Chains A and B, each alone.
Chain A
Amino acid sequence: DTEVTQTPKHLVMGMTNKKSLKCEQHMGHRAMYWYKQKAKKPPELMFVYSYEKLSINESVPSRFSPECPNSSLLNLHLHALQPEDSALYLCASSQEGQEPFYGYTFGSGTRLTVV
């Protein structure tokens, strides 16, 4: 299995809702990432987990809450989002501490619309 699987593919939520995005990989990768991507823009790093511990938080608002229950799973919990949070949310994974470094494997993303 060489894929990163993200669910759901599309999500529409109101500003008072609570929802979660899920990401799964079975490649044995020990680093997992959340990125946010606006249309025709590059992905922006949000969070990095390394060996199931949060290692980087790029000053993301607290209405986004990441969770890494085990080495294969990564969640992003959403609460009280704003319309400007509408975007494609991408999950990625990579080998940790590997030299040479072969890059990240990305999922297909969750298209989030906040209404």
Chain B
Amino acid sequence: GEDVEQSLFLSVREGDSSVINCTYTDSSSTYLYWYKQEPGAGLQLLTYIFSNMDMKQDQRLTVLLNKKDKHLSLRIADTQTGDSAIYFCAVGSSNTGKLIFGQGTTLQVKP
């Protein structure tokens, strides 16, 4: 089945850029998402990209997709302390109808 991998922890200084990486195994994955989870809260959909796209930019967020390497990244520009959270990569396939989550990357932003 689908496997989605993320590094577990990233620490950056306020104002720097953060890059969170994700790899997946199923080449038929059609939809790829980034969710943010703050402590004690549910999951907030941050952004998404479809498999026919290479890049998507939304304000401070840039998503890059390398389909050949099955690699997805989320770049947060000018990272703020409010960006501290767990970021989950999630991959969906129109074949299975299921959303598979990575393990989550904890982003720590230091003042």
Decide: A40 and B86 in contact? CB cutoff 8 A. Answer: yes
Task: Categorize the interface residue count of chain A.
Answer: 20 to 34
B28 to chain A, nearest CB (A): 14
| A101 pairs with B31, CB closer than 8 A | yes
CB distance from A46 to the nearest CB of B (A): 12
Chain B residues lying within 8 Å of A66, measured Cβ to Cβ, are: none
Q: Interface 1/0s, chain A 17-29, versus B by CB < 8 A?
A: 0000000000000
Residue B106 is within 8 A (CB to CB) of chain A in the complex: yes
A103 touching B33 in the complex, CB below 8 Å, given contacts A90-B42, A108-B41:
yes
Report the count of interface residues on B (CB-CB < 8 A): 25
| A27–B101 CA distance with the chains assembled, in angstroms | 24
B99 within 8 A of A: yes
**When the two chains form their complex, are residues A100 and B43 in contact, meaning their CB atoms are under 8 A apart?**
no
List the B residue with the shortest CB-CB distance to A107.
B42
Interface string of A94-115 (1 = CB under 8 A from B): 0000011111111111010000
Residue in B closest to A10 when the chains form the complex, CB atoms:
B40
Kindly identify which residue among A43, A101, A103, A111 contacts B40, using a CB–CB cutoff of 8 Å.
A111
Interface stretch among B11-19, B44-52, B56-64? B44-52
For residue A61, CB closer than 8 A to chain B, the reply is no
Q: Which of B72-111 contact A (CB under 8 A)?
A: 86, 88, 90, 92, 94, 97-99, 101-104, 106
Instruction: Please report B residues at the A interface, Cβ cutoff 8 Å.
Output: 30-31, 33, 35, 40-45, 48, 50, 86, 88, 90, 92, 94, 97-99, 101-104, 106
Give 28 A-B contacts (CB < 8 Å), ordered by A residue.
A4-B42, A40-B86, A40-B106, A41-B103, A42-B88, A42-B104, A43-B43, A43-B88, A43-B101, A45-B99, A48-B97, A92-B43, A100-B31, A100-B50, A101-B30, A101-B92, A101-B94, A103-B31, A103-B33, A103-B45, A103-B48, A104-B45, A105-B45, A106-B43, A106-B44, A107-B42, A108-B41, A109-B41
